[in-house]
């Protein structure tokens, strides 16, 4: 199979290197040959690739009928979507790691691929190197998946681990995650939870069998966390994780991305650093947990190559997003940890425990409505308050 790789950044390079390194092993699949690598003019001099492989005009790839698969790893949102659409319309199979585009256009791209008789794979879009999408599709066919809980952002998990284990300030931990190649070009996507939200949308859509919307997800990132919040965790033998949660109960489903405090008995307690994990529950299979590297050149490139190999085998069944449930329901009841300034208050009857710390206070609430808490916090933030909150899991 002749393929074109669109983008020669972290994932593009990882994908290319793996394909080159394993040429002999792909012979039994009929061979995988990188025919072109699309990049920007300004990247050409530094790329170190054979000039015959380099391409700066996408039309050349589209018009080459010997290229039957396009691997889109640009990370670009609008441009990436256009590249993908055009590839499918030229009847080329599509493999991508672009979670932003998959999350927003899953139904459209799936429908288009079905219409043009090509395959559309996106294993690398969620969980980096973890084989998750493919087993999830299989499990969703057999089971009713009623919950998925995941750590889907390597950058956030790395930051939270470094703050807790080494007492690193938030900014320094983020810089390290960027140096290691985990973070997005704009790390706001990581730390404000958008990247996790997109990955949750993808897995929840596959679990439910119809596309859920990004707007349906309740979202809180980790950027307001302080080193002092770590003392509470240490005192109570807890860890903090940016958790993506999907829950289905009859026709209702809820989608939340927010920091959560978890104890030793939680299945994701041991997931530290850039590692990602997903724990799902199905009515027949029971609880399944997937763990692995969530970001980085070779883990993510590895997931892309797995998709290309699956394409060579052409075993994938087409998905049709046909059924719908009535709506999303995110107002859970849970106890929350809240850290805020000393002159700010939560309603007295919510408070289970409270302590004063330097310039602020920490509160553990009773089991309260998430919507009510978020409403109160939004109002306090409008007045300039610096508040961090996390669900106590
Ligand atoms: N920025 C992402 C992360 C990369 O940190 O998980 C992998 O999707």
> Alpha helix locations (H) across 180-213?
188-191, 194-208
User: For residue 156, which atom of ligand 1 is closest to its CA?
Assistant: 5
| Nearest to 108, CA basis, from 213, 13, 260, 185 | 213
- Structural domain harbouring 358: 333-392
Q: What is the count of structural domains for the chain?
A: 3
End residue of a domain, out of 107, 125, 143: 125
So what's the pLDDT on residue 320? Answer: 75
On the 0-12 / 13-18 / 19+ scale of CB atoms within 10 A, 116 is: middle
Quote the CA–CA distance of 100 and 195 in Å, as a whole number. 7
Task: Give domain status of residue 190, yes or no.
Answer: yes
Q: Are 98 and 169 contained in the same domain?
A: no
Å from CA of 294 to ligand 1 middle: 6
User: For residue 153, which atom of ligand 1 is closest to its CA?
Assistant: 6
On the 0-12 / 13-18 / 19+ scale of CB atoms within 10 A, 137 is: middle
Neighbouring CB atoms inside 10 A of 136's CB total 24
What DSSP state is assigned to residue 210? S
Quote the CA–CA distance of 102 and 350 in Å, as a whole number. 40
CATH number of the domain residue 49 falls in: 3.40.50.720
How far, CA to CA in Å, does 20 sit from each of 43, 56, 243, 360, 380?
A: 20, 21, 36, 56, 55
Q: Are 207 and 261 contained in the same domain?
A: yes
Least confident interval from 57-61, 89-93, 294-298:
294-298
Q: What is the mean pLDDT of residues 148-165?
A: 97
User: Regarding predicted confidence, which is higher, 385 or 154?
Assistant: 154
Is residue 77 annotated as part of the catalytic site, yes or no? no
CB-ligand 1 contact for 183 (6 Å cutoff): yes
User: Regarding predicted confidence, which is higher, 357 or 292?
Assistant: 292
So what's the pLDDT on residue 114? Answer: 94
So what's the pLDDT on residue 227? Answer: 86
For the sheet containing 2-6, what is the strand order?
54-55, 33-38, 2-6, 67-72, 93-96, 120-121
User: For residue 125, which atom of ligand 1 is closest to its CA?
Assistant: 8
CB-ligand 1 contact for 195 (6 Å cutoff): yes
Q: What is the pLDDT of residues 321-330, one digit of tens each?
A: 777 776 667 8
On the 0-12 / 13-18 / 19+ scale of CB atoms within 10 A, 327 is: exposed
Task: Give domain status of residue 86, yes or no.
Answer: yes
Å from CA of 292 to ligand 1 middle: 13
CB-ligand 1 contact for 11 (6 Å cutoff): no
Q: What is the pLDDT of residues 257-276, one digit of tens each?
A: 999 999 999 999 999 999 99
So what's the pLDDT on residue 336? Answer: 96
Q: Are 21 and 84 contained in the same domain?
A: yes
Atom 1, ligand 1: residue with shortest CA distance: 183
Q: Are 22 and 76 contained in the same domain?
A: yes
* Maximal C-alpha separation, the chain: 70
Whether residue 319 has pLDDT greater than 90: no
CATH number of the domain residue 226 falls in: 3.30.360.10
End residue of a domain, out of 68, 103, 125: 125
Q: What is the pLDDT of residues 19-67, one digit of tens each?
A: 999 999 999 999 999 999 999 999 999 999 999 999 999 999 999 999 9
The residue whose CB lies within 8 Å of the most ligand 1 atoms, and thus the one to mutate among 11, 98, 150, 184, is 184
Catalytic site residue from 36, 199, 239, 241: 199
Contact 266, 393 (CB under 8 A): yes
Quote the CA–CA distance of 296 and 275 in Å, as a whole number. 10
Whether residue 316 has pLDDT greater than 70: no
CB-ligand 1 contact for 128 (6 Å cutoff): yes
Q: What is the pLDDT of residues 192-250, one digit of tens each?
A: 999 999 999 999 999 999 999 999 999 999 999 988 899 889 999 999 999 999 999 99
CB-ligand 1 contact for 154 (6 Å cutoff): yes
So what's the pLDDT on residue 281? Answer: 97
Confidence grade of residue 282 (pLDDT, cut at 50, 70, 90) = very high
So what's the pLDDT on residue 181? Answer: 87
């Amino acid at each position: 199979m002749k393929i074109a790789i669109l983008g020669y950044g972290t994932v593009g390079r990882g994908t290319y290197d793996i394909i080159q390194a394993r040429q002999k092993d792909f012979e039994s699949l009929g061979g995988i040959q990188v025919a072109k690598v699309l990049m920007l003019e300004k990247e050409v001099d530094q790329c170190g690739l054979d000039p015959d492989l380099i391409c700066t005009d996408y039309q050349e790839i589209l018009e080459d009928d010997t290229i039957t698969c396009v691997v889109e790893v640009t990370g670009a949102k609008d441009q990436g979507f256009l590249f993908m659409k055009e590839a499918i319309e030229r009847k080329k199979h599509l493999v991508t790691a672009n979670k932003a585009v998959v999350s927003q256009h899953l139904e459209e791209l799936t429908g288009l691929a079905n219409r043009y008789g090509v395959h559309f794979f996106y294993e690398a879009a969620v969980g980096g190197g973890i084989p998750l999408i493919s087993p999830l599709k299989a499990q969703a066919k057999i089971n009713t998946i009623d919950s998925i809980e995941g750590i889907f952002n390597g950058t956030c998990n790395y930051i939270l681990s470094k703050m807790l284990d080494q007492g690193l300030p938030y900014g320094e931990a983020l810089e390290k995650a960027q140096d290691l190649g985990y973070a997005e070009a704009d790390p706001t996507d990581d730390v404000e939870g958008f990247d996790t939200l997109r990955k949750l949308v993808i897995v929840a859509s596959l679990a439910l069998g119809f596309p859920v919307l990004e707007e349906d997800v309740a979202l809180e990132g980790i950027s307001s966390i302080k080193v002092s919040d770590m003392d509470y965790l240490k005192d109570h033998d807890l860890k903090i994780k940016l958790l993506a949660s999907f829950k289905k109960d009859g026709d209702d489903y809820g989608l939340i991305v927010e920091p959560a405090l978890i104890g030793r008995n939680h299945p994701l307690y041991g997931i530290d650093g850039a590692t990602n994990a997903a724990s799902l529950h199905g009515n027949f299979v029971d609880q399944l947990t997937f763990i692995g590297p969530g970001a980085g050149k070779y883990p993510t490139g590895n997931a892309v190559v797995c998709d290309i190999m699956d394409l060579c085998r052409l075993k994938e069944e087409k998905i049709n997003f046909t059924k719908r449930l009535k709506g999303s329901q995110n107002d859970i009841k849970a106890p929350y940890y809240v850290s805020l300034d000393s002159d700010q208050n939560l309603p007295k009857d919510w408070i289970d425990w409270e302590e004063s710390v330097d310039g602020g206070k920490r509160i553990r609430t009773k089991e309260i409505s998430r919507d009510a808490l978020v409403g109160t916090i939004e109002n306090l933030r409008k007045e300039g308050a610096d508040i961090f909150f996390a669900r106590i899991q």
